[in-house]
Amino acid sequence: MGVPRRPLRIVSLLPAATEMAFALGLGDELVGVSHECDFPPAARLRPVVVQPALALERLSQREIDAAVSQRLASGQSLYEIDEERLRRLQPDLVLTQDLCQVCAPSGNELAAALTALTPQPRILAMTPHTLEDVFDNLRQLGAATGRTAEAAELLARLRERLLIIRARLATNLPPPVRVLFLEWADPPYCGGHWVPEMIELAGGTDALARAGRDSVRLSWEEVQRWDPELLLLSPCGYRLEQALAQLPLLTAMPGWSKLAAVRHGQVFCVDAAAYFARPGPRVVDGAELLAHIIHPELFEWGGPPDAYRRAELGS
């Protein structure tokens, strides 16, 4: 028998990394998280070492977009790190990212906080742009924590679920559905990074999306020209009820009622935080959810009922 490894002290500054840690059985070794780490529910019981620097609760989507853009343009962070609590936790391993400054702390303030720790923890920075990158991050976390076998087993299960989607579509050959995936409503942002892959895998096509790249603002004229057959509103980091509350921002746009998706009642809101915005294991759930929404005749949804909802657009 091998010598049992010493339990690690892990701090995760990224919700997706927190989900990965729990999925690999590392929940007991997770000693600190960010304020957004809320899944699984046990993550909420861990000490919080990161808080938002901006109070966004009462701002509109356009005001949030402006406030975030202004703060980032001035070189300021969107987060505040509790350096004293971080020091007391004495982490062996810190999980963070340098993909999106809106998702987790990055840059100088994080580097300064980590440099001040004694002894210095290992840093695992995750920078996924594609589904394969997400899987690589999971594999890297397994290697860094002595959970290589667990990571390989989990990855095999996740890949098998994606293969089931591909095989069923290949067998039935439905025509691809013209999709528009919006990661923000006001101003509208397209889908980016791993989301376009998920849409294509699920039997859709989104010409306005940017596979493997940042989401960007769209003009409403671009949306009208694309004229999606199915529209998904998935505001980054928002839950379903929050997404539903943003629908009036779209329904007020010129020519809204003429879009094919609106005319045929194919407008949906989804839980972005759970299934799309976080590059963790639940992106596979997100692909299954997309497959159900895009091709309900082929795929059922066995997940939570509050994962999505068809918009009630009236007559």
Output b/e per residue, 270-297; b: 16+ Cβ within 10 A. bbbbbbbbbbbbbbbbbbbbbbbbbbee
- pLDDT of 64 strictly over 80: no
Half-sphere exposure for 106 (CA within 13 Å, toward CB)? 16
Q: What is the pLDDT of residue 277?
A: 96
Q: What is the pLDDT of residue 103?
A: 47
The backbone region for 255, taken as left when phi is positive above 0, alpha when psi lies in -120 to 50, beta otherwise, is left
Beta strands in 199-304 (DSSP E): 204-205, 210-211, 230-233, 267-270
Q: How far is CA 50 from the centre of its chain?
A: 18
Using 50, 70 and 90 to split pLDDT, how confident is the model at 115? Answer: confident
Q: Residue 207, SS3?
A: coil
Class of domain 10-152: alpha beta
Q: What is the pLDDT of residue 74?
A: 55
Q: What is the pLDDT of residue 113?
A: 79
Query: For 99, which DSSP code?
Result: S
Backbone angles phi and psi of 122, in degrees to 5: -75, 150
Average pLDDT over residues 218-240: 97
- pLDDT of 101 strictly over 70: no
**In CATH, 176-310 is 3.90.1150.10:** no
Q: What is the pTM of this model?
A: 0.90
More confident residue, 32 or 81: 32
Q: What is the pLDDT of residue 97?
A: 80
Q: What is the pLDDT of residue 1?
A: 46
Give the residue extent of every domain in the chain: 10-152, 176-310
Average pLDDT over residues 170-189: 96
Give 262-305 pLDDT, tens digit per residue: 999 999 999 999 999 999 999 999 999 999 999 999 999 999 99
Using 50, 70 and 90 to split pLDDT, how confident is the model at 149? Answer: very high
Average pLDDT over residues 76-94: 86
- pLDDT of 99 strictly over 60: no
10-152 and 176-310, same CATH topology: yes
Q: Is the dihedral of CA 78, 79, 80, 83 positive or negative?
A: negative
Average pLDDT, the chain: 90
For 58, 218, 228, 267, 295, the CA distances from 232, given in Å and listed in that order, are 24, 15, 10, 6, 14
- pLDDT of 67 strictly over 60: no
Could you identify the residue written with the tokens 């694309």?
Answer: 226
Alpha carbon distance 198, 196 (integer Å): 5
Average pLDDT over residues 62-86: 68
